[in-house]
A and B are shown apart, each in its own frame.
Chain A
Amino acid sequence: AQTVTQSQPEMSVQEAETVTLSCTYDTSESDYYLFWYKQPPSRQMILVIRQEAYKQQNATENRFSVNFQKAAKSFSLKISDSQLGDAAMYFCASSNYGQNFVFGPGTRLSVLP
């Protein structure tokens, strides 16, 4: 069975600074994807970034990047140059081949002006 853990219920960052959100996961599969989703107050789930497990190179999307440590089963999200609009709940998720998503409990990120 898949499990996803986010050990930081809440985080805060100063505007324009960098913050890292932690995520660890457990799966017995070798073929899987990892995701970070953002859920703003509107509650629409927005895909931030995804990582294919077979790729060693860390995924990046503009100000968002991940640190994927496959052996350690760690998948952290780094947000650079934080903006007020980045304030939201962030969920880490894993997806085994053909199976469902499993979400972590979430981290609430506050961005301080």
Chain B
Amino acid sequence: GAVVSQHPSWVICKSGTSVKIECRSLDFQATTMFWYRQFPKQSLMLMATSNEGSKATYEQGVEKDKFLINHASLTLSTLTVTSAHPEDSSFYICSVRTSKYEQFFGPGTRLTVL
């Protein structure tokens, strides 16, 4: 498996500001990480696939200029929500792919945009 951490666990920001969320793989060299968004009482929705050293692949309907993903090392991927608005308030979860079939999830980050 893999131990995955996220920072911060909860962030509150003002509308129009940018917020960066970090996802760290503590014990696994992760070439691929995933970013999910989960609205209240809903399932996880994949936002993008983060590949180390290359551009992220975004799912249909996810604005790549709004949700900037950087995967500069095998242990760190960051998600930056640019010009955040209240509708971006959600729970963001990252995961680390450890094999062709398995992922291990971080504890999530709650984003509240005022």
User: Are A and B part of the same complex?
Assistant: yes
Count residues on chain B whose CB falls below 8 Å from chain A CBs: 18
Within the complex, what minimum Cβ distance (angstroms) separates B75 from chain A? 20
Is A113 part of the binding interface, using a Cβ–Cβ cutoff of 8 Å? no
Kindly state whether residue A101 has any CB partner on chain B within 8 Å: yes
Q: Which residues in chain B, 48-79, are within 8 Å of chain A measured between CB atoms?
A: 49
With beta carbons under 8 angstroms apart, the residue of B95, B101, B104 that contacts A33 is: B101
A60-83 CB contact bits vs B (8 Å, 1 = yes)?
A: 000000000000000000000000
Chain A neighbourhood of B101, CB < 8 A: 32-33, 95, 97
Residues of chain A within 8 A (CB-CB) of B104 are 47
B107 x A42 contact (CB < 8 A) = yes
B99, chain A: closest CB distance, angstroms? 9
In contact, A97 and B100 (Cβ under 8 angstroms): yes
State whether A98 touches B107 (Cβ < 8 A).
no
CB A11 to nearest CB in B, in angstroms, measures 15
A residues less than 8 Å from B103 (CB atoms): 95, 101
The range of chain A's interface size is 10 to 19
B105 & A44 in contact (Cβ 8 Å cutoff):
yes
Residues of A within 8 A of B91 (CB): 43
- Bound together, the chains give a CA A50 to CA B103 distance in angstroms of 12
B44 x A91 contact (CB < 8 A): yes
Contacts of B46 in A (CB 8 A): 100-101
Residues of B within 8 A of A (CB): 34, 38, 42-44, 46, 49, 91, 93, 95, 100-105, 107-108
19 pairs, A vs B, C-beta closer than 8 Å: A33-B102, A42-B107, A43-B38, A43-B91, A44-B107, A45-B44, A47-B104, A50-B102, A91-B44, A95-B101, A97-B100, A97-B101, A100-B46, A101-B95, A103-B44, A104-B43, A105-B42, A106-B42, A106-B43
